[in-house]
Amino acid sequence: MEVFSKRFSKHEDELKWLYMELYNDMDGYIQLISNMKQYYQNRRQDLKEIDNARVKDPSWYKKNDLMGMMLYIDNFAKNINGVKEKINYLEKNNINYIHLMPFLDTPSNQAKSDGGYAVSNFRKVRPDLGTMEDLEELSKVCHEKGISLCMDFVMNHTSEEHEWAQKALAGEKEFQDYYFFFDDFTIPAEYEKTVPQVFPTTAPGNFTYLENLDKYVMTCFYPYQWDLNYRNPVVFNEMMFNFLYLANQGMDIIRIDAVPYIWKTLGTPCRNLPQVHTIVRLMRMICEIVCPSVLLLGEVVMEPAKVVPYFGTVEKPECHMLYNVTTMATTWHTVATKDTRLLRQQLDTVAALPHDYTFLNYLRCHDDIGWGLDYPTLAKDGIGEPEHKQFLNDYFRGYIFNSTSRGELYNEDPVTRDARFCATTASMCGIEAALETKDPAELELAIQQHIMLHAYMFMQSGIPVLYSGDEIGQINDNDYKLNPGKVEDSRYIHRGEMNWYNASQIDVEGTVQNKIFTRLHQLEDLRKAHPAFITEGDAWTLDTWDKAILCMGKYYNKEKIIGVFNFSAQEKTAYLDDVYDGPYTDMITGEVTDIKQVKLEPYGFRYYVIQF
């Protein structure tokens, strides 16, 4: 307990202060601390050793050696034990950070599970995926191999089938107070005036009428996901105990789902309220006391000004890592427009942030692309938001003459035509279309674009995370349309089952899978071998005199890397007037060269390095 006491005393004042400020409940505070002690005591010895090692090396996740992959356990390997058997495949792909998409118990009716984001039991694995023991075992195997595990902590809401919700439905007031219950629509109507919609078309409104109780419950996401009431200290405490329970199963990274939404105040948009930051700060301290090896990954799908505060401050940090969501959306905008100016501005904005902010970089994830771009900047070029979203959605559905992308809209508003977009990276790059038309030149071009985008993503500061299947160019899966529980949710188009036959082709020369796998592998190896890729290194962009070409620089410890990326299907030359040194070494061919003028093939790219 000495270790616990030492860590606790470091945070005690602030922890107590913030808890009392939020809840003014001494009994609740005492219960929290005594449970934290209990979870510390129950924590496995091997996890405590990882805690100690990471406390000594707090930048362990900020180097250039982490490569993540997010995957659905069932799609990837049927169940948790299956994942264990497929670890070799993940290692072959250089993966040492696995994000297991939601696997906790959830309604078996897929129309009420939100892909597992409607949790019905925080302490039970979905039975068809395995058990908590299987998870624990997987974490041990991963740790032996130096692989970190990530899971979701869906803290804003529970499924309507969660025990608390069931008790609330049975009329127990105590459990109704875990949520937001209203006798009539008077107060909900007030909320509706200021709270925007998450799913305006598939789940309009922020409240659901419960017929058998004749009451309304707050449901900001889907009607079957009831928002938890964090004004109630019992909810905070119970959820923190669930959090610690999951951390103790051997999780290294916990993704706090939909975190901006967790605090509600009438008359506000109920997003990013100051109390959200208090709660995240409390979670960070609870982690640092009980399980300091665990990292908090915040899911904040908002514009940059709203995202960055979730890092907290140097003295009072909140999340360890955040998604680089605007950069992701801007990347696809660049793919469609072949104009890198907005992306360049976005990359420069991120690069100007303190270097210890760690972003998670990605091209695709399990969700739709929301087209959250910097529209005020686009407006200066006369580009309006609704028209541009329409253009992007048309482009990526392949409706525009030079587009070979394929995919589906998500949550289209029939009146405003506002919509988000779903598809896999490969389908958005034209691999699906080229396989259909059997055009070898088109296919090469699409593969090249897919690889170029990864090369560019690997160069961003932070942790690159691949979406399972992207390592072999997996295309859209339209089978979800045959499943009544999935058909309404087009996000399932990019949540297809892993095609293991295709995966077996990575070793067969000349196949699509082999081309993508081999080249990504090469880039991953380079990333690990060169310190300039480190998160904490300097990052900047350079002029190329062609808006279709992006040029990025990275510097760390006497090493400089210049990356040049052609976002167009034409041959291009980048004029790098601002590169004052040389010669550089082409990191892929080994050629030593001056880089004032760089000729690039369609969707071509180069990585150059110089050591001082």
Judged by the rule CB under 6 A, the positions of this chain that interact with ligand GLC are 114-115, 117, 154, 221, 257-258, 299, 366-367
What is residue 361's three-state secondary structure? strand
Choosing from 105, 114, 161, 257, the catalytic residue is 257
What single DSSP character describes residue 401?
Answer: T
Q: Of 19 and 117, which CB lies nearer to ligand GLC in the complex structure?
A: 117
> What single-letter amino acid sits at 577?
D
Least Å distance, CB 496 to ligand GLC, is 16
Q: Of 310 and 565, which CB lies nearer to ligand GLC in the complex structure?
A: 310
- How many Cβ atoms from other residues are within 10 Å of residue 415's Cβ? 8
> What single-letter amino acid sits at 292?
P
Least Å distance, CB 436 to ligand GLC, is 29
Q: Which of 479, 436, 429 is nearest to 603 (CA)?
A: 429
Q: Which of 290, 292, 294 is nearest to 40 (CA)?
A: 290
Give dist(CA 577, CA 591) in Å, integer.
20
381 is known as an active-site residue: no
Greatest extent of the chain over all pairs of C-alpha atoms, in Å: 75
Least Å distance, CB 300 to ligand GLC, is 10
**Token pair in block for residue 487:** 């058909």
Q: Of 228 and 342, which CB lies nearer to ligand GLC in the complex structure?
A: 228
2 is known as an active-site residue: no
Q: Of 465 and 520, which CB lies nearer to ligand GLC in the complex structure?
A: 465
Spatial CB neighbours of 31, under 8 Å, sequence gap ≥ 6: 237
Q: Of 119 and 433, which CB lies nearer to ligand GLC in the complex structure?
A: 119
The H-or-E segment that residue 256 falls in is strand 253-256
Least Å distance, CB 114 to ligand GLC, is 5
Spatial CB neighbours of 430, under 8 Å, sequence gap ≥ 6: 403, 404, 405, 442, 445, 446, 449
Least Å distance, CB 119 to ligand GLC, is 9
How much of the chain is in helix, strand and coil states, percent to nearest 5? 45, 20, 40
Tell me, rounded to whole angstroms, the distance of Cα 527 from its chain centroid. Answer: 20
> What single-letter amino acid sits at 574?
A
What is residue 373's three-state secondary structure? coil
Least Å distance, CB 525 to ligand GLC, is 31
Q: Of 221 and 607, which CB lies nearer to ligand GLC in the complex structure?
A: 221
- How many Cβ atoms from other residues are within 10 Å of residue 388's Cβ? 19
Least Å distance, CB 422 to ligand GLC, is 11
Choosing from 134, 161, 288, 299, the catalytic residue is 299
| Beta carbons of 110 and 483 less than 8 angstroms apart | yes
User: Residue with the closest Cβ to ligand GLC?
Assistant: 117
**Token pair in block for residue 518:** 């081999």
Q: Of 99 and 366, which CB lies nearer to ligand GLC in the complex structure?
A: 366
Give dist(CA 372, CA 222) in Å, integer.
21
- Annotated catalytic sites, by residue? 257, 299
